[in-house]
Structure 1
Amino acid sequence: MLINSALYDDGRVVAEPGLEGVSEALERQSGFVWIALRDPTDEELNLLQRELNLPPLAVEDARKGHQRPKLEEYGEILFAAMHLLEPGPDGLQIGEVHVFVGPRFIVSVRHNSQQGFLGVRGRAEREPHLLRQGPGFVFYALMDAVVDRYFPLIDEVEAELEQLEETMFQPHQDRQAVVQRLFALKQRLGTQRHAVTPLLEVTSKLHGGRVPVVCEALQDYFRDVYDHLLRIQASIDAARETIIAATQVNLTLVTIDESLVTKRLAAWAAIFAASTALAGIWGMNFERMPELKWAFGYPMALGAIVLVSGALYWRFKRAGWL
């Protein structure tokens, strides 16, 4: 589906050619065209391929989706794939945006995502002096918007980790629920890492050394995106280490809780064992026993049981077993 199509000249919109008139509009007018598609049909992609002479292999990747973040060069045309991450009912939902960048055009193809780029278009049109730099600047603006949307996701993970750390040492905590939440956070970080790490390799090709011609004048901008990605990756690595440490601490707490329960059971077992032993001694059916005919034998036996049990209880209580 076509979201937007605009022809820019000297940083201003001069026409909205649509898909079928792109090549004719570029022949009649200087400047470049910016086309945005969402979940396009095969007919739309085939039409764009004919109008802009797009590389068939890149078009096939944009048609199928499920691409790893990457950057490919086909002569003067660049093809980039990036992941769009957004919260979903079962964790993070992964969408994609594929970008074709040529000397006089840029095409963005969005798949499986509700995140649009109308804000990027509005920002660029409010700064015509930047749009004069051509499709390379639009490519930077799209990549910068994708990367900036990663920051709130890592912030949410860090905030939830802090909350877990605060509640982890509370008594009667459900340790299994804590481990499940930690594992869910680790999965979210893994999804973010799969989006960020390959994109670092992509942006490293856009500044310093040999740079594609369409991006050559914008190396400082892409270096800024690279710095943002480094910060995000550092935050992801730190959060992963925190999760691993928190999981180990939680497992240690589980072991401590089990040890405390074992101590309590052992202490009560020892108390009842002593009482059982005394009751068993006086409960033997012998005719000749010292206290058997004694009037105070029964109270004395009960007193001895209570005294021994009380002494054991005091001892275990003092040792911290009860």
Structure 2
Amino acid sequence: MAMTRVRPGRATMSLFKTRGRPHSPAAQGRRRDSAVIDWAAYIDGNRVCTETVDDAVRLIRDGRLTPNGDSAGFVWVGLHEPSATELSELAEVFGLHPLAVEDAIHAHQRPKLERYDDVNFFVLKTVGYVARDPDGAEVVETGEIMIFCGADFVVTVRHGAQGELGSVRERLEGDAARLALGPAAVLHAVADRVVDGYVSVAEAVMEDIDEVEEAVFSPERTDESRRIYRLKREVIQLKRAVGPLAGPLRSLTGRRFVPAEIKEYLRDVEDHLTRVREQVESYDELLNPILQAHMTQVTVADNKDMRKISAWGAIFMVPTAIAGIYGMNFDHMPETKWTYGYPMILTVIAAACWALHRGFRRNGWL
């Protein structure tokens, strides 16, 4: 892969000396004194392990050019939530631009692709669907992956719990021919991993939308408004991650440092991204009528309740009114001295209540 410019060698003897490789993956996962998760030198697609990061850099830069001027290999350093000091050390070794380094430290960036001299800076949003709410409901959790891609190195900086790249590295190392294409192969593998995450989360969100839709239109009366609003919030969160990536990914396929073989794979990733973006946009359009239907059902149910309350209130008004009249205790009132006055009043009350009840049931109020 032709290089646009050869950077002069830098002194790396003192860098990362305290960060030797852990003896096991378990120990590596427990090391939080360093943000460096893994590193390796890759020559002709084959991994070459070294004790320290600077050993890997020296291995590549001491003989990185073939007679044809092509890179003989590259270094891949993976970091997770590095501090400013750790990333500054890497910036000195690889010549990373201060603005890009600042973005990688503080995160919270939109997906983008920028070029600083001969280093490309690629930002992707990662997503996951995890249980975070107290009621166990799943929410869309986002993270970020920043990639510094040069002629002989790749530095991946990950923020958040999503987008773990260990499996990406293992899969690439099992395909030496692909890895031999250089840092662009890593760019494609990471982008493919991120977009696959979009697809998985989109499918999980769709399952929840189907459940809500089924609950809304079921005969049982349930309150799904909170769940619908939560899903709308998660869909918006997903759209913010998926939508802005289309432009940078399209631009990546036009960059010179990307071999033709990798461009074909990138176009496939772009196609998957387009499909999942259209999917997510349809979710928002689908949730709106579901919410409207639910609110309509709630309104109809409330109206039914109010009609029932009003009907029973009218029925109970008859005995209340009659009892109120005859409870005034005047001396001269009709039927107060009549033997059958009391049974007659009860009969009138019962007949009036029955007639009202029958009329309300016939009209659908009860």
Query: What TM-score, normalized by structure 2, do the two folds share?
Result: 0.80
Which ranges in structure 2 are unaligned for 5 or more consecutive residues? 1-34, 64-71, 134-138
User: Given the alignment, which residue of 285, 304, 308 partners 1:264?
Assistant: 308
Deviation at residue 212 of structure 1 after TM alignment: 1.4
SS in 1 for 2:110: coil
Letter of the 1:101 partner, please give it: C
Shift of 1:142: 0.5
Residues 93-118 of structure 1 deviation map (CA, whole Å, 9 limit, x = unaligned): 32211101112211101122254211
Distance 1:117 1:299, change over 3 A: same
Confirm whether residue 225 of structure 1 aligns to residue 274 of structure 2: no
Native 8 Å contact 2:40 2:53 kept in 1: no
* Uncovered stretches (5+) of structure 1, i.e. residues with no partner: none
* Cα deviation digits, residues 156-191 of structure 1 (max 9, x gap): 21111211222224456342xx21111111121111
Aligned to 2:351: 307
Equivalent residue for 1:128? 176
Q: Secondary structure at the match of 1:173?
A: coil
State yes or no: 1:38 paired with 2:84. no
Deviation, 1:259, is 0.4
Following superposition, the deviation at residue 320 of structure 1 comes to 1.4
2:48 to 7, 14, 18: 14
Task: Measure how far apart 1:141 and its partner are.
Answer: 0.4
Residue from 71, 81, 84 that aligns with 2:126 = 84
> After superposition, what is the alpha-carbon deviation per residue over 1:51-80, rounded to whole angstroms, capped at 9, x for unaligned?
211222111211221211111112332101
For residues 240-319 of structure 1, the aligned pairs below 5 Å read 240-280=284-324, 285=330, 287=332, 289=334, 291-319=335-363
Deviations 1:202-249 (A, max 9, x none): 112123xxx111225222211111111111112211211222222111
Change (3 A) 1:279 1:63: closer
TM-score under structure 1 normalisation?
Answer: 0.90
Over the matched positions of the two proteins, sequence identity in percent amounts to 35
Partner of 1:191: 237
Please give the secondary structure, in 1, of the residue aligned with 2:241.
helix
Which structure is higher in helix share?
A: 1
Quote the RMSD (CA, aligned, Å). Answer: 2.1
Contact kept in structure 2, 1:19 and 1:48, CA below 8 Å: no
In 1: Cα distance, 2:194 partner to 2:55 partner: 29
Contact kept? 1:282, 1:301, Cα under 8 Å:
no
What is the Cα deviation at residue 295 of structure 1?
A: 2.8
* SS of aligned partner of 1:245: helix
CA contact (8 A) 1:206 1:216 kept: no
Number of aligned pairs? 316
Q: Is 1:70–1:81's contact at 8 Å kept on the other side of the alignment?
A: yes
1:26 positional shift: 2.1
